[in-house]
Amino acid sequence: MKSDEYHLETRSKIGAFSQKDRARAWLVSQDNFPVLEDITCYTLELWDESMRVPHWHPNASELGYVISGSVQIIIWRSPGESAVFNVEAGMCWFIPQGALHSLNNIGAHKAELLVGFSSHKPQDIDLPVAFNGVPAFLRDAYTSPHSDLKKWRGPCANPLVSKFSVFSPPHQSTGSPYKFDLAQVTPLFQDPKLGSITWGIKDNWNILQNISLLRAQLKPKTARDAIWYPDAGTLYIVAHGTGQFQHVFADKEPRLFVIKQFDYIFVPTGILHTFVNNASEDLELIAFFNKADPKPEISLSVATSFFPESLRKEAMTEYKNPPDNSNPLKELKFTLQTPYLIDISDKKI
């Protein structure tokens, strides 16, 4: 079992941005994960009394997921389209492309966040950078006669994070469309012994643009049905636990590798894949899609069952299994219902 170009171990293979007593971030893009296509995700640790300074993304929408902690989101898009709300573990937020926003840790402990983008090389412009870039006479005019601003020379590179003292915040938006709680969504699949599959896409979160997500929670000794997505690339990040992941490509040996917390796995459009929880604790993966309305998965078992038995048997019979030349595949029998998660407690892994 080994890693390949579709698997990125973020804690060991790329460097982290770190600011003492403030935050730490693992920044992933096509520069260090070349297979990415129109999608990426940063992992961000935002510590007590810290914030991701107000900024915007000129080339990407943002979709975030809270692993742990409590974060306040402030969004400014226009005078009539602003929002202030809090998100906790298991909740999501969405920031439209070009909208000014900040992420503020309002809890007493570190917040762990997955921040997805609808670009493989997202750009940010932080407020200090923006003010540094405009002409001095314009900066002076903003707050005239405040002459210190005219002389100010701020950072040319994004500072990313800063101190945030919890204050009396702006009034929270009631029922903001930018906030999404996966716990309030009817899962695609849920079984107390196997786990659950839930997604937030344009069908149930209509404000989304160019990006969406899915959460897969697997109980121990459970596997994901082998699937592919017909029209979307998928970036998986391990939120909790350990397991195994496998791709099936047409022209390569199958890829099977061990995954752990905060590992990334990219699956191109149409590529068959599955993952397994062979540990004693739950496995949770967050999948970001590079479009807001991906078509439902295609299950290998369901797709196989669609074809008439005569076609299926003839197709499978062409391939023998050495050394005994038998072919158990020809006896495959499936239903037309996607199993989503499969119990493998009695199987050898």
Q: Which residue has the higher pLDDT, 40 or 168?
A: 40
Q: Let me know if domain 185-343 sits in CATH 2.60.120.10.
A: yes
Mean pLDDT across 231-260: 92
Mean pLDDT across 132-139: 79
Residue 172 CB partners (closer than 8 Å, separation 6+) = 84, 85, 86
How confident is residue 36, by pLDDT bands cut at 50, 70 and 90? Answer: very high
How confident is residue 148, by pLDDT bands cut at 50, 70 and 90? Answer: low
pLDDT at 322 over 70: no
- Res 250: pLDDT: 86
Domain boundaries, the chain: 7-180, 185-343
How confident is residue 57, by pLDDT bands cut at 50, 70 and 90? Answer: very high
Q: Which residue has the higher pLDDT, 315 or 33?
A: 33
Angstrom CA distances, 180 to 4, 71, 81, 92, 320, stand at 34, 13, 17, 5, 49
How confident is residue 284, by pLDDT bands cut at 50, 70 and 90? Answer: very high
Closest C-alpha among 243, 287, 294 to residue 267: 287
- In the chain, % of residues over pLDDT 70: 84
Task: Give the Cβ contact number of residue 112 at 10 Å.
Answer: 20
pLDDT tens per residue across span 191-231: 999 999 999 999 999 999 999 999 999 999 999 999 999 99
- Res 23: pLDDT: 86
How confident is residue 131, by pLDDT bands cut at 50, 70 and 90? Answer: confident
CATH number of 7-180: 2.60.120.10
The type of residue at 324 is D
Domains 7-180 and 185-343 share a fold: yes
pLDDT tens per residue across span 69-114: 999 999 998 877 889 999 999 999 999 999 999 999 998 899 999 9
The sign of the CA dihedral 7, 275, 284, 187 is positive
pLDDT at 2 over 50: no
- Res 321: pLDDT: 59
Highest mean pLDDT among 6-15, 167-176, 323-332, 339-348: 339-348
Q: Are 41 and 30 in contact (CB under 8 A)?
A: no
Rounded to whole angstroms, how far apart are CA atoms 330 and 317? 6
How confident is residue 180, by pLDDT bands cut at 50, 70 and 90? Answer: very high
- Res 159: pLDDT: 67
